[in-house]
Amino acid sequence: MRGPHNILRLIRTGATLERTGAMGVVMEAMDAPPQVRAIMRFLAWPFQWLGYRGNPDMPPATRALSALGPAYIKFGQILSTRPDLVGDELAMQLRVLQDKLPPFPVDVAKRSVEEQLGKPVEDVFDEFSPPVAAASIAQVHKARLRETGEAVAIKVLRPGIEKAFRTDIDAFYFAARMIEVLSPASRRLRPTDVIAHFEGVVMGELDLRLEASSASEFAANTNGDEGFKLPAIKWPLSGRQVMTMGWADGAPLGDNAALDAAGHDRVALGERVLQLFLSHALRDGYFHADMHQGNLKVAPTGEIIAYDFGIMGHIDEYTRKVYAEILYGFIKRDYRRVAEVHFEAGYVPPDRDVNEFARALRAVGEPIFGMDATQISMGSLLSYLFEVTERFGMETRTELILLQRTMVVVEGVARSLSPQINIWQVARPVVEDYIRKNIGPRAVVHDLQKTLAVLARYGPRLPGIVENALIRQSMPLEPPRAPNRLSPAIWAVGGAGLGGAAVLVALLLG
């Protein structure tokens, strides 16, 4: 139920941050102004007794987010990929949230597997290990198939995870609505729609059959991508709460020491991660939307292995072209064209000045060129970009939320591998290739072919459609009907019904 009782949940959030010591750590990492820090501490301190204690062996921020539950853990996972925003130390601490959370007992996992497969674990697997990774929604066990001896990974949902997510999402809805009421200016950001989008994404993660289907589609799209592969799904051994796939051998992409020891080129890996994401988003319109280090490995052969397909993003062809033109405009430093694309797509209200918007975008883009990542303050850049969107009345585009969020995560992953990486230089060949193939004369011919193909399907029906339209147009108007003698009685009964309904409503409203 989405009601005022969620105030307690939100108060408990602040209280947990204060009780665990995470409030100061987060404020320090985000470089919050002294006034903001003082206000937050003042509001949270009286209620800290309501906060969760968490695991005292964990660092403060990790301790607080893991205690608050899965939705907050998801937020921490995103921050863990952004050392440029929260600092190297906090990012490293939060990386634990990706796949090193406290596991649930192996016996509970085996019971879930048996319920899903309808047979004892021993009949299917020769080995079934303790948890090798535990994240916010599920944990993974390594097993060996009795029939073939193949090593597999078994993903099992956490018990009660859906109820836990519902609790957090209800509180987020309440917070979004309060923000909209108390701050009318924030409505352009559509906070309620953003939470609805988050809810849809998360609830999709809670059915592993959908994840298996996503993995299958993603594998078909990326089959020819050099230096990239996916584990194969074992459909007969998968269900709503359990998913089985091939085992991925390799070094975790978040372990730079292991990558260096294995002789992998981290600069090349960082560039490849970013280019693969852009290629999947632009070429296919279907991309892995949870590409943090915990979901990526590097095989001994140097291939990047992706897994955990619970969150996948989809963007239509028109939006892909808009996104590509915006990226290409920034790469070419053609801010006028970037501004025009925003207006053409309806992202900016038409009554705003396109030239002024172009100048504002120049102030966002220019600091990036000629600098490496160590010289760019992403916090300052994002802060200014937010000011620009507010000044020009840009609304949040819910269809782009997942794309934008994933871009932030992937950029963070690339920079954790190569701190000096320049995302615009790396993105340029992928975006230029997409522009060349999909925007211009060749694209016009392709679009015409698609239009003709649609018309061809309707070809056999066109004569009938035209004939029916002409017949309707030539038919005389229907003469007015004679008054119905029963109409007074009908009106009387109808009026009584409406009157009775009105009485019932009045009684209900008391």
462 token code pair:
């066109």
**pLDDT (0 to 100) of residue 142:** 95
What secondary structure letter does DSSP report for 152?
Answer: E
**pLDDT (0 to 100) of residue 455:** 65
**pLDDT (0 to 100) of residue 186:** 64
415 sits in which H/E element: helix 398-417
Indicate which residue of 84, 290, 353, 433 is catalytic. 290
**pLDDT (0 to 100) of residue 184:** 73
The set of residues, in sequence order, having a beta carbon less than 8 Å from that of 265 and lying 6+ positions away, is none
**pLDDT (0 to 100) of residue 109:** 93
Residue with tokens 């560039």: 271
90 in Cβ contact with 31 (< 8 Å):
no
Q: Digits of tens for pLDDT over the chain (510 positions)?
A: 455 567 777 788 888 888 888 887 777 766 666 776 777 777 777 777 778 888 888 888 888 888 888 778 877 776 776 666 677 778 778 877 766 778 899 999 999 999 999 999 999 999 999 999 888 788 999 999 999 999 999 999 988 888 888 888 888 788 778 777 777 766 766 778 777 877 777 777 788 999 999 999 999 999 999 999 999 999 999 999 999 999 988 999 989 999 999 999 999 999 999 999 999 998 999 999 888 888 899 999 999 999 889 888 888 888 888 888 887 888 788 889 888 988 888 888 888 899 998 998 888 778 766 665 556 555 555 556 666 777 787 766 666 767 877 887 888 889 889 888 887 788 888 888 888 888 766 666 666 766 666 667 666 776 777 777 777 766 555 554 444 444 333 333 333 333 332 222 232 233
User: Concatenated DSSP letters for 2-30?
Assistant: -STTHHHHHHHHHHHHHHTTHHHHHHHHT
> What length does the chain have?
510
**pLDDT (0 to 100) of residue 494:** 34
Continuous H helices in 251-313:
256-261, 266-279
67 in Cβ contact with 54 (< 8 Å):
yes
304-306 and 228-229 beta bridge pairing: parallel
Residue with tokens 């504002």: 360
**pLDDT (0 to 100) of residue 423:** 79
* pTM of the predicted structure, to 2 decimals: 0.69
| Residue 139: strand, helix, or coil | strand
The set of residues, in sequence order, having a beta carbon less than 8 Å from that of 429 and lying 6+ positions away, is 275
Is 290 in the active site? yes
40 in Cβ contact with 15 (< 8 Å):
no
196 token code pair:
């609805």
What pairs with residue 246 in β-bridges? 152
304-306 and 296-298 beta bridge pairing: antiparallel
Continuous H helices in 32-160:
34-44, 60-68, 70-80, 83-86, 88-94, 96-99, 106-117, 121-124
Residue with tokens 């030239």: 355
**pLDDT (0 to 100) of residue 135:** 80
